[in-house]
Amino acid sequence: MASTAGAETAERFLQARPGPEAATLIGEGKVEELRAAVHSSGADLVIFDHDLTPTQQRNLEKAIGCKIIDRTQLILDIFASRAHTREGRLQVELAQLNYILPRLSGHGVEMSRLGGGIGTRGPGETKLETDRRRIAKRIKRIEDDLNAVRAGRALHRRRRSAVPLATLALAGYTNAGKSTLFNRLTGSGVLADPRMFATLDPTVRPLQLPSRRRVLVSDTVGFIRNLPTTLVKAFRATLEEVKDAALVLHVVDVSAPAAAEHTAHVFQVLADIGAAAIPQILVLNKIDRVADDSASDADAVKRRLLSGSTGHPDAPAVALSALTGAGMDGLLEAVDQLLPLDPIVHATFHLSAGDGATLALLHEFGKVLATRYIDDSCEVEAEIPESLERRLAGRG
C-alpha cells in the first residue's frame, strides 16, 4: 500500500509483544530504535500497519521527530487519489472527516479567539471548538448528499428490477483482477490497474449468457483485511450493489502467497454488509501466473483456500485467467447453472403503434421474430424470458 501511495520504503520493522502499549503502541525501546532509523535514513514519514489513537500518534511524532500515519490514514490517502466521480469524492471526504474529528487537539491559549464587544472579552471560543463544529456541519452536509446518491442508486436498482435481469456482483480482495474480469465478461474499457483500490465507484454493464439470458454485471471496490469501519460506512452506497446482487463472483488471486487469508477477509466483509447468504462462485483468477498446473484443479484449490474458513463450502469453483481468457467458458456455464432459471418462451403481443417502450423492451431483452403493423396497432412475435412475459401480461 505504501508504494501504491507513492512512498519509497527505506526500512521495515516488525514487533511481537503481548499487547499494545497505551502511550506509543510499540513501547519505549522500539520508539528509540525507530527514531535512530529515521535519523540515519533521512526518512520523513513512518507508516504503522495498525490503527493509532490520537494520543499515540502525537506521542510518536514528538518522540521520533517526523510525521506518523497509521493504516487508516494510508488507505484514505490512496482512496483520495483514486476518487474521480462526485460520489467517490464525497465518500472519501466523509471517511477522512470522520477520521480527523476525534484527532483534533487544541494548543492552549494561542488557539483562542477573542471577541471585540461587551460580553465577549476573555478566552472566548477556542479554535478547537469551532473546528469541531465546522467539521460536524460538513459531515452532515456530505451525509445528506450521500443519502441523495443512495436514493438515486435505489431508484436505479428498482428500475433494473422492474426488468427481469439478475445482477452479478464482482467482489474480492483488492488487486485480485476484478476489473480485468469485468472487461473480459462485458467487453468494457473499465480501468484495470495493478495498483490497489483502482476501482472505487461501481460500474454496471450487461452480459449475455450461453443460454441467451441477459444479466447485469457490477464491478465494485476491492476489499482489504481490517477494512476501517469509517470506510465501510462511507462506501455503504457502493457496497449495497453487492448486497442486492443475485449472485456474487468472488474473485481470488490464486498466485498471491496469502490467497487463503485474502479469501477469508472477503468472506468476513461480505458477512459484515449482510451479503453472506447470497450464492457465490469462487473465481480462481490468474492461473496463468502459477508455474505448475495445480491451479487448474479448481476443487483442490478451493479446499485449500477454504480450510479453516467459515465461507461458502458448497460454492462452485472455476479456475481461469481474466487476462488471457482461459477458462471463461466454464465461468459462464457455472453462472448459467447457478442463477434461477428464467426459460425462454414464444409469445405474440398486440401493441399500439405508439407503444415504443414495450417494443424497446422486447428488442432489448428478447429476440423479435416478426413485426407487423396493422392500421394503428402493431403485432410483435418474439422469444422472451418468461418473467418478462409475465410483466407484459395483458399486452399479448
Does 327 or 125 have the greater pLDDT score?
327
Is the per-residue pLDDT at 212 higher than 90? no
How far, in Å, CA of 150 to CA of 157, rounded?
10
CA distance 333 to 327: 10
What pLDDT band is residue 275 in, cutting at 50, 70 and 90?
confident
pLDDT tens digit string along 5-33?
778 889 999 988 888 999 999 999 999 99
> Tell me, what DSSP letter sits at residue 340?
P
What's at 198, amino acid-wise?
A: A
- The per-residue b/e assignment along 94-108, b for 16 or more CB within 10 angstroms, e otherwise, is bbbbbbbeeeeeeee
Strand-by-strand arrangement of the 280-285 sheet: 203-208, 214-219, 167-172, 247-253, 280-285, 317-319
Can you give the pLDDT at residue 282? 94
* pLDDT for 394: 59
Cell of 237: 452506497
Q: What percent of the chain has pLDDT over 90?
A: 22
d(CA 128, CA 110): 11
> Measured between alpha carbons, how far is residue 296 from residues 240, 326, 374 in Å?
32, 10, 57
Q: Which three cell numbers stand for residue 11?
A: 526500512
Q: Measured on CA atoms in the order 253, 255, 256, 260, is the torsion positive or negative?
A: positive
Segment 142-188, tens digit of pLDDT: 888 878 877 776 666 666 555 557 889 898 888 888 888 999 998 87
Do 248 and 112 contact (CB within 8 A), yes or no?
no
10 burial class (0-12, 13-18, 19+ CB within 10 angstroms)? middle
Strands (E), the chain: 45-47, 67-69, 112-113, 125-126, 167-172, 203-208, 214-219, 247-253, 280-285, 317-319, 344-352, 367-374, 377-385
Angle between helices 298-306 and 259-272 (to 10 degrees): 70
